[in-house]
Structure 1
Amino acid sequence: MKNIQLNIIKTLLLVFSLALTSCIKDLDQSDPDSESLLSAEETFKNPESYTNFLAKLYAGLATTGQQGPAGNPDISGIDEGESQYIRGYWVMQELTTDEAVIAWNDKTIKDFHYHTWTSGDAFINATFSRLDFQVKNCNEFLRQTTDEKLDSRNVDTNLRDEINGFRAEARFLRALSYWHFLDLFGSVGLVTEESPTDFFLPEQATKQQLFDFVEAELLAVAEDLPSPGTNAYPRADRGAAWMLLSKLYLNAETYTGTGRYEDAFTYVNNLVTANYSLGADYEQLFFADNNTNGAQNEFIFAVAFDGIRTKTFGGTTFLTHAPVGGSMNPENFGINGGWAGIRTTSALVNKFQMGADSREQFYTDGQSLEINTISSFTDGYAISKWKNIDINGNPGSDPNGDFADIDFPMFRLADAYLMYAEIFLRGGGGSQSDALSYVNQVRTRAFGSTANNITGSELNLDFILDERARELHWEGHRRTDLIRFGKFTGSAYIWPWKGNVQNGAPTASYRNLFPIPANAIAGNPNLTQNPGY
């Protein structure tokens, strides 16, 4: 059903001795020792091991340990579901913005919306550790698939060609995680397959060095990846590399102080003219069968989830269960019960024309628009965006309704369309007519007709920021967008409970980056804390 991740995702390779350690804390962990590498040599005598290892790399974006949904975690010291890649990234990208608040009192979870997090935050440490863990697995795959290694194993030409393609995918996945490091933390240790395999303390790379590394990796592998839409879903293809390059360049001024909008235009223009198409129905993009119902034609890169084979309390299981509470009927979402946690603020609600836009999936029965008490789930409109049902209303594959089948669209075409318009407005290239066309294609789907299409006089950066919220809310983009537009911290944009004040308050600009976790700095004296923490 879900291709590479599902049938072989549970394969346990001996090469992952590092993965089986009880805790991954920081970027100075040692890599597999010589005894582990001997085990790897035995493992890779089986040609299928290369495919299995690649599956593990994709699985790293979905699963949390060696058994699902919990019990043998990759990362200890936190609830296993909270350590899941997409869940951790979503918390940092969405709970810190106008798009989401959470009712729970789990540890320091509310600090994200209040902008009061610290370097000792367990959730920040878990996400940092998850990114680190993913990078290390990618590095080990690249170490085990060099020409020298393949020669020593007498790998035949046909398999070698396939493995070279796998290497390009592994480098893309590593670049994705380093982009997340750059976007969230700014400056971290840079470890590659060329780094020592004995215990060592990496030097801290600057933001510019991380930017340059991600850029170089993506440029190097883009042509080695399959053409857009031709790789087995949901594996990365050339379009995924183009999209990540576009996002890297679009945010370059934030990351390095130097705009790269013309470069952003080059790659986003490749995407909007490539083999992708908007899904016919916005709501179905977030259904359990979004890998087969036509939505997948819009997905440039997605993380696959399956209610039986990738059980986790993170990912889209979290995004389906956590927003359901109050008077909401869990059966309508294909689940056995809601977790009564996340909902949104009036700042997002007020960006919509109530009742006209199909993207306006607010649940209001018994919910108040204004949030008097964040801990009360019924304060704030709920969002019914993620549904573990198919287009016929049938629930997902898990007969108990615990775990979701919904794939997570990390990159999709509608995002690229809106990026094109923004890049045009920032002087990167393109034409107003094309920018309007792409924006209005997104709006035509949203409203079901051209009646709400915009004109050239209405196309400006403020409109684009609001349209991105309407189209992409709860998909992990909002924090990055607000920072790029200068509205995440400070007083330029205030939303309810920002700064731990009911009507909102300015927050310090240093919070545009998260702190390097205290655990990481304690383990590696080469790391320097981000200013302000």
Structure 2
Amino acid sequence: MHLHKKVSILALSALALGGCTKLDEKLGSTLERSQAEKVIKVNSLLINAYNDMQLPYQDQSNFWALQEMPSDEAVAPTRGGDWDDNGVWRSLKLHTWTPEHSMIQATFTNLLLLQFSATNVLNFQPSKQQAAEARFIRALCMFSTLDGWGQVPYREPNENLLLPPKVLSASDAIAFIIAELNAIIPDLPERAGAVKAWTANKDAGRTLLMKCYLNKGAFLNRAAPTFDAADMQQVITLADQIIGSGRYSLANNYFDNLAYNNDVIGTENIFTQQNGPGLSTIRAGNAAFCHWAPTLHYHQLPSGWNGFATTSDFYDKFEATDTRRGVAYAGVTDVSGTRVGFLIGQQFDKNGNALKDRKGNNLAFTRDLKLSEAGTDLEIKGIRVVKYPPDMVTDGGHNSNNGSNDWVFFRLGDVMLMKAEALLRTGSGAGLAIVNQLRVKRGATPFVTLTLANLLDERGRELYWEGWRRQDLIRFGKFLEPWQLKPSDDPKNLLFPIPVNDLAVNPNLKQNPGYTK
């Protein structure tokens, strides 16, 4: 997408979803609707909506950061003067954020911009399928907004852009999203043949609907989530439709689902965002693929930013035989020396030579980690995570911001675990076989029994760094518990604060409890 087009969309979006600013009403009449329908192509607007998913979801400092950094899975320690950023990363880990937190503000804004892009498609007479795809994108970003903030600004198509949007409560928002998904699934295409995972499809709609039913009780009462039997049965029924389709199977290599060619070899992927340079005419922009760059060291290939890590407590949840913990990966390790999964201990190049950090220390990542690191060994502190195998084909693997790995939103492993959870919460023991099927495929020892505790741990092992952990911890009632690097908490942190800028421009928003306005 050309820059001037993107700027235009963002400017309109800010007006649509955040504003009650006193602007000249002639802005809305500079282009008559009849003219607009001639020059604006619905397919282009739909492509814009798909493109606009990239910033809130793939950028390492947006929704992914808000889901992973406050959890037990991820940490961005300050290393000397690096990764300080005015303390925003540390406050995410410690749950000490405020309404002025820059990442919370940016994520809220970008989700609302995405909602506008999707809603705007509906203003220009889309086909049934185009409308269904746009409404799916809108439902997804509304679900994320509800997940984070407990209330959702919403505007119908063709509403007056000079008036602030209404705000849906948690109960109204979840009811709206569920109704939307049930309405559009018949008009979405089947995930088969020419319909790739990066196109909103029936199974993507079913998976998001599963998440709605599974999390509904948590969204309505985060302090004490409830799980209605009828909702759990909906989760089970939808999972059976997806699993029973025969379109998906557990990958022989877990990391194939996330590789640079995962659109071809990823057998589990239900819904993704297509990535890769030069794809702006297909339904993707140039990739800003950052999820190996923030964690790898400067002297590894591809060269990284030496930032993100995980805790030793989370790493210890994995058995040594569990392939999800880390493996050599063909096309990456043999080319660069970099393994995938968790990186701990001495790191090597492709020829087996031990790497050094910039101070001459052996590049041997340690279990020890503090939120603020100092000293001569600060570069090697912390177990690193490489969930997406680096793309060593695009640009020869030297530009770690370019990658063709499609970003994965939904995949089979998650669907299986959601079904197992719904079965467990309704008193059925049938979920044990589902979880053990997954564990055996990943090289882990089968469970003897299935409990909420080991199921939550299994979701962590299966879905680590995929952007679901905060949501899972809240649903399982564990988010406020202390863990490594987070000694205490406050119940207000079950919701993020509404950013101060949004409160100022939309009087329909109300600050969440516990945060000063």
Q: TM-score range by the shorter chain?
A: 0.7 to 0.9
TM-aligned CA distance change 1:22 to 1:249, over 3 Å: closer
CA deviations 1:230-280 (Å, max 9, x no partner) are: 524410101011000100110111112453322222222222222222222
Q: Is the 8 A contact 1:84 1:130 kept in 2?
A: no
Residues 25 and 519 (structure 1 numbering): CA distance in 2 closer, same or farther, change over 3 Å?
A: farther
Structure-to-structure mapping, 1:324-343, within 5 angstroms: 324-325=296-297, 329-330=300-301, 335=302, 337-343=303-309
Cα deviation, residue 25, structure 1: 9.9
Give the conservation status (yes or no) of the 8 Å contact 2:150–2:219.
Answer: yes
- Tell me, yes or no, if the aligned pair for 2:278 and 2:285 is still in contact at 8 Å: no
Q: How does 1:424-443 map to 2 (within 5 A)?
A: 424-427=423-426, 432-433=429-430, 435-443=431-439
* 1:196-235 correspondence runs (5 A): 196-230=159-193, 231-235=195-199
Q: 1:85 to 1:229 in 2, by over 3 A?
A: farther
2:106 is equivalent to residue 109 of structure 1: no
| TM-aligned CA distance change 1:172 to 1:232, over 3 Å | same
Equivalent of 1:321 in 253, 272, 293: 293
Q: Report the AA paired with residue 114 of structure 2.
A: Q
Q: 1:514 to 1:459 in 2, by over 3 A?
A: same
1:497 paired to 2:485 = yes
CA distance in 2, matches of 1:398, 1:43: 42
- Residue in 2 that maps onto 1:364: 344
Q: Distance in 2 between matches of 1:356 and 1:144?
A: 50
Structure 1 residue aligned with 2:74: 100
CA distance in 1, matches of 2:286, 2:45: 23
TM-score by structure 1 length?
0.79
Structure 1 residue 511 displacement after superposition:
0.3
Matched, 1:89 2:80: no
Q: What displacement does 1:129 show? A: 0.5
Q: Partner amino acid for 2:429? A: Q
Q: Within 2, Cα distance between the matches of 1:173 and 1:21?
A: 18
Name the count of aligned residue pairs. 458
How far apart, in 2, do the equivalents of 1:282 and 1:83 lie?
22
Query: Do 1:24 and 1:133's aligned partners in 2 also have CA atoms closer than 8 Å?
Result: no
RMSD of aligned residue pairs (Cα, Å)? 2.9
Change (3 A) 1:51 1:397: farther
Q: For the structure 1 residues 29 and 141, does the alpha-carbon distance in structure 2 shift closer, same or farther, using more than 3 Å as the test?
A: farther
- Pairs within 5 Å for 1:103-142: 103=77, 104-107=83-86, 108-142=88-122
Tell me the CA shift for residue 373 of structure 1.
4.5
Measured in 1, the distance between the counterparts of 2:445 and 2:57 equals: 41
Could you say if the C-alpha distance between residues 13 and 165 of structure 1 is closer, same or farther in structure 2, counting changes exceeding 3 Å?
farther
Equivalent-residue separation in structure 2 for 1:478 and 1:399 (angstroms): 30
CA displacement, residues 47-79 of structure 1 (integer Å, 9 cap, x when unaligned): x922221111111112x5xxxxxxxxxxxxxxx
Distance 1:85 1:371 in 2: 24
- Asked whether the equivalents of residues 292 and 400 of structure 2 are also in contact (C-alpha less than 8 Å), the reply is no
- Contact 2:17 / 2:154 at 8 angstroms: preserved in 1? no
- The alignment's TM-score, normalised by the length of structure 2, stands at 0.81
Distance verdict in 2 for CA 1:11–1:378, change over 3 Å: closer
- Partners in 1 of 2:412 and 2:2 — Cα distance? 31
Q: Is the contact made by 1:488 and 1:512 (CA closer than 8 Å) also made in structure 2?
A: yes
Which secondary structure does the structure 1 equivalent of 2:29 belong to? helix
Give the aligned partner of residue 271 of structure 2: 301
Residue by residue over 1:161-192, the C-alpha shift from the partner in whole angstroms, topping out at 9 and shown as x without a partner, is xx221000000000001000100000132222
Q: Give 5+ residue unaligned stretches, structure 1.
A: 1-8, 65-81, 147-162, 499-504
Cα offset, 1:395, TM superposition: 4.9
State the partner residue of 1:452. 445
Structure 2: 5+ residue stretches without partners = 78-82, 327-340, 346-363
Q: Conserved in 1, the CA contact under 8 Å of 2:16 and 2:161? A: no
1:21-49 deviations in Å (ceiling 9; x for gaps) = 696796336899533542x6445436x92
Query: 2:255 is aligned with what amino acid?
Result: E
Contact residue 188 and residue 202 of structure 2 kept, 8 A: yes
For 1:271 and 1:202, how far apart are their aligned partners in 2? 35
Shift in CA distance, 277/301, structure 1 to aligned 2, threshold 3 Å: same
* Counterpart residue identity of residue 34, structure 1: G
Deviates more, 1:26-35 or 1:260-269: 26-35
Contact 2:14 2:113 in 1 (8 A): no
2:229 pairs with 1:265: no
